[in-house]
Amino acid sequence: MSWAEIYPWRGPQAGEPVIRQIYDQVRGAIVQSALKPGDRLPSSRDFAQRLGVARASVVAAYDLLLAEGYAVGRPGSGTYVSTDLSGVAELKPPADAAPRSPSVVPDRVRDLDEVVLPPPQADQRLFTSGRTLLDARAMDAWSRSTRRALRTLDPVHFGYSDPRGDKALRAAICDYLRAARGVICEPDQVIVTAGAQHAVDIAARVLLKEGDRVWMEDPGYPATRHALAAMGADIFHTPVDRSGVVVAAGVEAAPQARVAFVTPSHQYPLGMTLSMGRRMELLAWARTAGAWIVEDDYASEFRYSGPPLESLQGLDGGERVIYVGTLNKALFPGLRMGYLVAPRPLVTAFVNARQLMDRQPPTLTQAIVLDFMREGHFAAHIRRRRLAYKAQRDALAGALETQLGDLLEVDRPDQGMTLIAYLKGNGSDLEVEAAAARGGVSVRAISRLYRQAQPRQGLMLGFSGFPERMMAPGVARLARALGA
Ligand SMILES: Cc1ncc(COP(=O)(O)O)c(C=O)c1O
């Protein structure tokens, strides 16, 4: 493949001889790596026609490039950029002598440089978090939905469309949320996003301006903190205890906060569920303070004991809670699809903010997800995953208790895709993380997720991405890495 076909070749200008101009352009494109070794140059006939010059001029320019080693001819095939440019005179463009001052690096760049990327699915080290497993039935159903969606795509799907997403998909999401999470919604309040992170980012943009006070959990999800910092928000790091976020601490220290960002189903990273009492306290505060709540309900599909607590959004009657959910956990992170449900007065602002970021969700992916949901595969997949993840959680927790019980105290979460093993004694979770990494096992130290609260020393282990049978051998490997 060669980009020579679309390179902006210029026709001859007055002054320099035509042959020289052609030679300079091709040589320049090679020197700047716009054309790569092995790329095919246009045929002399095409090139001459395109530039509006005599073919003999192009041939003469090519002869010069051939003679100097920039190009090679392949009989019967054409002229190519040489694959060995080591012998040619000078490949670097001459340095520009004009004075330079470095561009000012904004403070924001430092913040953004600190953002830690989640491990990719290709990181197959045991206990890497954020991975999901699809069984053969889900894979098969997904391929069938993809084929059907491709067959039914209409030319209208290739154009710009509603930034909220496909109407039928929004209706399906609404049906699911009403049934599964007690969310109060109509399809026109649903906005399809690229995921929970995208939804949180939109919420931060819409709800906050520089200096606004917000609550976020401590410890909490770093990407949410970065989204809030990007808006210049003044973050009150609200402590959490066994019942979830300690509302009283927020009420005391930052009663006038504009927004609270919370993960009530499965607190990130510790995994506890926000108790019903705290849910009521949080909503009561928001009503008094005239504040909004952003409920990040990521991974709420995977609940392992008893019925889930109703969403904050449902308890509130859909008035002051922005509900955020994701299909990237329920299905697979590479999907990049999630949603938010906006309270009525905020719908237009949310839709427009979403539109300014990336216009609309991709039509083909939406069509596939809609088909997958309509055919009942989504519900069936969640049901099967719940059983599988529960078994994986139990296998991991059991193996940790048996093999590393002296070192770790395991917290078996009712929900989610990760568990926390707290360090017994005075060890440092960062050191344990490093030792595990040397042994090829990925566990994440939770102490670095704390801001103001006293950090606890513990490890976050993902159990969703590895089958049950891998848990005991994986923990054995971890134990060897820790010299336990
Ligand atoms: C608390 C929390 N919110 C949001 C996300 C992001 O999810 P998504 O992949 O849908 O953007 C994650 C992912 O791990 C998460 O843990």
265 and 409 part of one domain = no
Q: Is residue 24, in this structure, part of any structural domain at all?
A: yes
Give the DSSP letter of residue 179: H
The domain in which residue 393 lies consists of 386-481
Note the pLDDT of residue 154. Answer: 87
Rounded to whole angstroms, what are the CA distances from 84 to 22, 24, 41, 184? 21, 19, 16, 66
Task: Please check the confidence at residue 409 and state whether its pLDDT lies above 60.
Answer: yes
Which amino acid is located at 405 in the chain? G
Pocket of ligand 1 contains residue 196 by CB under 6 Å: yes
Among 85-94, 244-253, 337-346, 374-383, where is mean pLDDT lowest? 85-94
- Rounded-to-integer distance, Cα 378 and Cα 374, Å: 8
* Percentage, residues of the chain above pLDDT 90: 85
* Model confidence pLDDT, tens digit, residues 427-459: 999 999 999 999 999 999 999 999 999 999 999
- Rounded-to-integer distance, Cα 299 and Cα 327, Å: 8
Note the pLDDT of residue 93. Answer: 58
Task: Please check the confidence at residue 42 and state whether its pLDDT lies above 70.
Answer: yes
Task: Please check the confidence at residue 331 and state whether its pLDDT lies above 80.
Answer: yes
Note the pLDDT of residue 92. Answer: 60
371 and 392 part of one domain = no
d(CA 347, ligand 1 centre) in Å: 22
d(CA 56, ligand 1 centre) in Å: 62
pLDDT tier, 123 (very low <50, low <70, confident <90, very high otherwise)? confident
In the numeric block, which tokens belong to residue 158? 């290739």
* Model confidence pLDDT, tens digit, residues 290-309: 999 999 999 899 999 988 88
Note the pLDDT of residue 119. Answer: 74
Among 122-126, 148-152, 177-181, 233-237, where is mean pLDDT lowest? 122-126
Considering the chain, what is the average pLDDT of its residues?
94
* Model confidence pLDDT, tens digit, residues 50-70: 999 999 999 999 999 999 999
203 and 311 part of one domain = yes
Q: What atom in ligand 1 is closest to the CA of residue 197?
A: 11
Q: Mutate which of 326, 331, 369, 461 to test ligand 1's pocket (most atoms within 8 Å of Cβ)?
A: 326
Residue 305, Cβ density class (10 Å: 0-12 exposed, 13-18 middle, ≥19 buried): exposed
Task: Please check the confidence at residue 96 and state whether its pLDDT lies above 80.
Answer: no
CATH at residue 432 = 3.90.1150.10
In the numeric block, which tokens belong to residue 241? 């205890």
d(CA 19, ligand 1 centre) in Å: 58
374 and 442 part of one domain = no
293 and 199 part of one domain = yes
Q: Is residue 359, in this structure, part of any structural domain at all?
A: yes
- Among 353, 379, 405, the domain boundary falls at 379
Question: Do residues 274 and 245 touch, judged by C-beta distance below 8 A?
Answer: yes
Q: Is residue 111, in this structure, part of any structural domain at all?
A: no
148 and 242 part of one domain = yes
356 and 391 part of one domain = no
Which amino acid is located at 92 in the chain? K
Pocket of ligand 1 contains residue 221 by CB under 6 Å: yes
Pocket of ligand 1 contains residue 463 by CB under 6 Å: no
- Among 81, 115, 146, the domain boundary falls at 81
To which residue do tokens 């989640």 refer?
118
* Percentage, residues of the chain above pLDDT 70: 98
Note the pLDDT of residue 115. Answer: 82
Average pLDDT over residues 237-242: 98
Among 65-69, 113-117, 315-319, where is mean pLDDT lowest? 113-117
Note the pLDDT of residue 224. Answer: 97
Q: Mutate which of 294, 329, 337, 418 to test ligand 1's pocket (most atoms within 8 Å of Cβ)?
A: 329
Total domains present in the chain:
3
Note the pLDDT of residue 91. Answer: 57
Neighbours of 360 (CB within 10 A): 17
Q: What atom in ligand 1 is closest to the CA of residue 195?
A: 10
Task: Please check the confidence at residue 89 and state whether its pLDDT lies above 60.
Answer: no
Pocket of ligand 1 contains residue 418 by CB under 6 Å: no
155 and 298 part of one domain = yes
d(CA 177, ligand 1 centre) in Å: 18
Q: Is residue 371, in this structure, part of any structural domain at all?
A: yes
Task: Please check the confidence at residue 345 and state whether its pLDDT lies above 60.
Answer: yes
242 and 319 part of one domain = yes
- Among 325, 347, 379, the domain boundary falls at 379
Q: Is residue 326, in this structure, part of any structural domain at all?
A: yes
75 and 143 part of one domain = no
Q: Is residue 118, in this structure, part of any structural domain at all?
A: no
Note the pLDDT of residue 274. Answer: 96
Task: Please check the confidence at residue 6 and state whether its pLDDT lies above 80.
Answer: yes
